[in-house]
Structure 1
Amino acid sequence: MAVDGATHHGPLRDTLINNRQSARGKPRVALVTCSELSDLDPDDRLVLAPLAARGIAAEPVVWDDPAVDWHAYDLAVLRSPWDYALRRDEFVAWARTVPSLANPAEVVRWNTDKRYLAELSAAGVPTVPTTWVAPGESWVAAQSGEYVLKPAVSAGSQDTGRYDLADPEHRELAVAHVRRLSDAGRLTMVQPYLHAVDTAGETALLFLAGPDGLRFSHAICKGPMLTGPDLGVEGLYKVEDIGARTATPQQLAVAEKTLAVVPGGPERLLYARVDLIPGPDGSPVLVELELTEPSLFIGHADGAPDRLADAIATHLARRA
């Protein structure tokens, strides 16, 4: 669906704004979202009651609403600003203007361009092998193998496709996909398709801030989402098949190694999501590190809404 950047005030936000007077004196938290989700993603709404129980006044706020006074909030928590991908420079510039942003603006700049995967790989983190095709560069599709093509700046699996390059039609569509991104001035990522996602799925490990830094909160599993080529049809969201999962020691070790490489250290993060898929040998491989606007899936783990509220309270206490 198209995202026009306009600001809409849904009933939840209207109610919260109308109650703002009674919340004076409480810490004020902006839960940063986009205009299409002006009342927040349903999963994020689950933190509102736990925050209220802790005496914290929270409300959804659209990131590109020019009427917002970000200095009026004690903390702004990035949640669902999922329309930024085609305006990444604008989004990064905006992040630098927000006085109390979680996660911090410099982390946003680093994490919204997936070239961070090359940095993590160089630091010894097992990552999915990636070839980068810059705008204007020629790219010749292989004659076999399944690959995933996507832009280095994206959200919600936008502009992402899966190609079986042994199929001549898929090769043509893959070349067209790269050309489409190149013509738009976007960097393309070419990655082998990890077939274990079809059987074992993808594991997301969620970490939330505690008094002594990030703590593992819960894990979920996601089923495969890519069924074929991307045909250039516009869309912001894709339906995910989500379930609870128990993280393995090996997965937790990869996550810890990944988080250790975050610029400035993981201690200042409010949340982190580490997405892993088994590689060809069965060992977990990092496919994405989400530090900017990840779904946290707090509705899929007992106590997770309270842990997120505690993480927000922890960050407020640090800034007091």
Structure 2
Amino acid sequence: MPDVLLASCAAATGKDEDEPLLVAALAARGVSAAPADWADHGVDWAAATAVVVRSTWDYAPRRDEFLAWARRVAAATLLLNPAGVLAWNTDKRYLRELAAAGVPVVPTAWAEGPDDVAAALTRWPGDVVVKPVVSAGARDTARFAPADRDGARASAEGILAGGRAVMVQPYLDRLDAEGETGLVYVDGAFSHAFGKGALLAGGALGEGLYAEEEITARTATPEQRDVGDRVLAWVADRTGERPLYCRVDLVPGDDGAPQVIEVELTEPSLFLTTDDGAADRFAAAISARLG
């Protein structure tokens, strides 16, 4: 049994570009690590010194099962990030709390039931993005033009029928040219930033495990770092935990100022390939937690 099990899923095999870099960086520090499918009942999670949640990208359709697994693992060994953090972060309604705390968040309307859909879809006159509050890899997410509010309504009603609440956001036009900026934090400290092309430039996404993304290295601006640092401090205060990893995804608002579109504490790609020292920093943080 390796020292560290990296929780993944069967469908992610060979697709997590972070995994080989992290395994090698841990090995260089004398820590053995290997991936394992979180849904594999044959894995002895308790035998590992720590379990680090990584590419569990298939959890969304069975979130309750995933969180039950996390609680069992946490009761038996060190789970990173902790089960309580995973429970809070796997429902995107955490963005309401973040906005209430004064952090700039992409404007969002929430539809908890069918009666909320019409108001949510008519809040903004331009293109809107419809997505579920429980999702991974941007699945079940689509962009709709003003002329296709019927399509947006059908999408929202379909999500609600599946037992998930709906969030509706205005599509931010600057995204097409500027994309998203992701800020990666490791053990409470800023590690690196990356750029991500606009996922919905063409409208809807496919139904695969995760969306293919155009990723580049990027230098965060002081304004972006300020927002990211505020998010990290708020997360630590809200959850009572210093997360092993946190990814803060930012998009440019109409005025260009950064807004939070997502805070990833569960299974984010950290794009370790975009920074030469990122894998070692991540490995060092895991090694320190083992001690």
TM-score (ref. length: structure 1): 0.85
Within a 5 Å distance, the mapping from 1:56-95 to structure 2 comes to: 56-95=31-70
Partner of 1:294, secondary structure, is coil
Paired position in structure 1 for 2:149: 171
Asked if residue 149 in structure 1 is aligned to residue 122 in structure 2, the reply is no
Paired position in structure 2 for 1:260: 233
CA deviation map 1:13-56 (0-9, x unaligned):
xxxxxxx5xx6xxxx10011001124561222111111111111
Contact 2:176 2:201 in 1 (8 A): no
| Greater fraction of residues in helix | 2
Match 1:305 to one of 269, 279, 287: 279
Kindly provide the amino acid, as one letter, of the partner of residue 68 in structure 1: V
- Tell me the C-alpha RMSD between the 2 structures: 1.6
Paired position in structure 2 for 1:5: none
Distance change in 2, residues 1:116/1:138 (3 Å): closer
Q: Distance in 2 between matches of 1:95 and 1:260?
A: 24
Paired position in structure 2 for 1:109: 87
Paired position in structure 2 for 1:181: 159
Give the superposition deviation at 1:227. 3.2
Contact 1:39 1:60 in 2 (8 A): no
Higher Cα Rg: structure 1 or 2?
Answer: 1
- Unmatched segments (≥5 aa) in structure 2: none
Q: Distance in 2 between matches of 1:40 and 1:226?
A: 21
Contact 2:130 2:142 in 1 (8 A): yes
Distance change in 2, residues 1:39/1:224 (3 Å): closer
Q: Distance in 1 between matches of 2:18 and 2:174?
A: 27
TM-score (ref. length: structure 2): 0.93
- Unmatched segments (≥5 aa) in structure 1: 1-19
Q: Distance in 1 between matches of 2:107 and 2:68?
A: 30
Contact 1:29 1:77 in 2 (8 A): yes
Give the superposition deviation at 1:103. 0.4
Paired position in structure 1 for 2:207: 234
Contact 1:225 1:240 in 2 (8 A): yes
Give the superposition deviation at 1:219. 0.2
Q: Distance in 2 between matches of 1:234 and 1:220?
A: 25
Paired position in structure 2 for 1:119: 97
Contact 1:177 1:230 in 2 (8 A): no
